[in-house]
Structure formats: C-alpha cells, structure tokens
Amino acid sequence: MPSVFTARALLLDMDGTLVNSDAVVERCWRRWADRHALDPAAVLEVVHGRQGHATMAALLPDRPPAENFAENALMLAEETADLDGVVPVAGAPAFLAALAGHPHALVTSADETLARARMGAAALPLPPVVVTAERVSASKPDPEGFLKGAAELGFAPEDCLVFEDAEVGIAAARAAGMRVIGIGPRAAAHHPDVQVASLELIRVAAAPEGGLRITAG
C-alpha cells in the first residue's frame, strides 16, 4: 500500500538519493584506506552521507582535527576530478522535473564545487536553494543543514519532507524534527518513515489544500 505525505517543501540529499556516485566514492576512499592501512570495507561502511573530515575523525580518532580538514580538502579535489560513473539515480530526472516551481532544496555533505560537478555529470538541475558543506558548521548527523534549508525556503521543520539514503542523513532529518523518505537499499535499515527502492516509486502532485502531495510506493 503506497504511503502518502503532504509537505510545503522538500529537502533532498544528493549522493545516493539523486546521484549515484558510489563508484567514485569507493575508488577514492579505498585508496585513502590503503594509505592509512585501514580495512577498505570498514571504511566504506561509515563514509556515506558524512563530510569527509567527519569520516576521518571517526576512523582516526587520535588524529588532530586540522589534519582531517587538510586531507579532506585533498579528498574533495580528488572526488571532483573523478566523475567516471556518476549517473542519476533511477527516477531522479522525472522527480526533479516534477518539483519545478515548488519549494525544494539540496542539502548535501559535498562542498559546492563537488555538488555542481556531480549534478552536472548526472545532467540534473540544481534546486533553487543549495546547502553545501561550507555553509554549515557541523556535518550530518547534525541537523544544521536541513534546518538551514528549511529556513531559507521559509518553512518550519514540520512542514518539510526529507529524501535521504544514508544513516547519518536520516538521523539528521530526525534531529531536525522532519519526516524522511528513505531512498534505495542503504536506507532500509535506518527506520525512515517509509523506504522505497528508487525515486521511480515517488509521485509528486499539488495538494488541494496547498503544498505538495507525495505518494511513495
């Protein structure tokens, strides 16, 4: 049975939700794991959804934060230069087309340069509001990014609906007091309000009372 939500605005994660960048993420972070003599599989378990410096802090807890921020800058450049295999998530082009003219924001742990590169490689339009890594003081699972996106669109958290794929992103949406639709297999274990295999299972329509009516499933 499909689930139905109404919302005044939508807040969208990028990697894993709109853009499939898994191939790049795995290449870059496997190389990073090898440089630090870490198990690549263990690294890939925690990398999704976080800013790179936050991943590094989790995996190298004794390393000074300044070193994580410096290496994160190198990692962002490496990821931005590697767009091989970056494609839209199934259903993303039609989903974003349906949102044209409606309030929605991109809230991503990527910086602006990487976000623009990946959305461009996937041939997806940038939403009217974009909240990237350099615009927040804390990475997901902190709710700051989602709260900033809601505020810039002019809506209260309870009026927003989040689309996310990663554990930390779903936790950030919850901490912001927002409902969340999980996209793809990674989301299933992290208890979103509802989880769907892809954006192909999302339908968007104007709600009679105003705002949007979202059908999932």
Indicate which residue of 15, 111, 142, 165 is catalytic. Answer: 15
User: Is 13 noted as a catalytic residue in this protein?
Assistant: yes
Sequence-ordered list of residues with C-beta below 8 angstroms from that of 87, at least 6 positions apart, any chain:
19, 20, 121, 122
Give the strand pairing for 202-206 and 212-216. Answer: antiparallel
Strands in the chain per DSSP E = 3-7, 9-12, 19-20, 87-88, 104-107, 129-131, 160-164, 179-183, 194-196, 202-206, 212-216
Assess whether 193 carries a catalytic annotation: no
Within 13 Å, how many C-alpha atoms sit on residue 176's CB side?
31
Measured CA angle at 4 (ends 174, 216), to 5 deg? 80
Amino acid at 48: H
Distance between CA atoms of 57 and 60, rounded to whole angstroms? 5
Cα–Cα nearest to 14, from 48, 40, 39: 48
As annotated, the active-site residues are 13, 15
